[in-house]
A and B are shown apart, each in its own frame.
Chain A
Amino acid sequence: DQQVKQNSPSLSVQEGRISILNCDYTNSMFDYFLWYKKYPAEGPTFLISISSIKDKNEDGRFTVFLNKSAKHLSLHIVPSQPGDSAVYFCAASLYGQNFVFGPGTRLSVLP
């Protein structure tokens, strides 16, 4: 049973528009959430994170939103660029333990 779900295996967005990647989790005890970006044949690269005491964290073009009551988080990329094309993994942890990763969403940003 997946504790972290990314229900969209893929997403295509036009360059310059907003990309919204979604993630749902089942364990309400998770207290830290992370997004990673992965290019083919490379390891995941840490992108942005958010603790459970916040509902928003922003870093440049990337913003993560957390809705604890819905056990849902999303990553917004604005504006999307072709170089953003990659697989994005959502991950959750409980006090630095038990990192759980979602299956990933493949984002394609079309020029």
Chain B
Amino acid sequence: EADIYQTPRYLVIGTGKKITLECSQTMGHDKMYWYQQDPGMELHLIHYSYGVNSTEKGDLSSESTVSRIRTEHFPLTLESARPSHTSQYLCASSDPTRGYQETQYFGPGTRLLVL
């Protein structure tokens, strides 16, 4: 069973506000990911990290930024929220030492609504 946490679970916020979505894992996984998912659509990778001080942009362009100062923590920040940012944000982590059998474990997600 994976231990990965996201807060808040739900967030309703006005346009222009700065928000930070928190993600923490207690498994010591080096790799962490942020996905964005709209209802009925596939998961789109927006950011990932191979370890501390490593961050990369994913396949889907996003105005959000991430940081990785500690192994267990991978927060995502939106400097100025817009209605187009309304979506579900999913954080995941994986253990790269498993090689090709690496499995991603997901947090419960944050459902964001920007008014």
B-side interface mostly = mixed
CA distance A46 to B107 in the complex (A): 11
Contact assessment for B103 and A34 in the assembled complex, using a CB-CB cutoff below 8 Å: yes
Q: Which of A29-56 contact B (CB under 8 A)?
A: 31-32, 34, 36, 41-46, 49, 51
Contact assessment for B101 and A32 in the assembled complex, using a CB-CB cutoff below 8 Å: yes
> How many chain B residues touch the partner (CB < 8 A)?
29
Q: Which residue of A lies closest to B106 (CB)?
A: A43
Q: How many A-B residue pairs have CB under 8 A?
A: 65
Does A93 sit at the interface, judged by CB under 8 A? yes
In the complex, which of the residues B6, B43, B90 has the most CB atoms of chain A within 10 Å of its own CB atom?
A: B43
A residues in contact (CB < 8 Å) with B: 2, 4, 9, 31-32, 34, 36, 41-46, 49, 51, 89, 91, 93-96, 99, 101-104
B residues in contact (CB < 8 Å) with A: 2, 4, 6, 9, 33, 35, 40-43, 45, 90-92, 94, 96, 98-109, 111
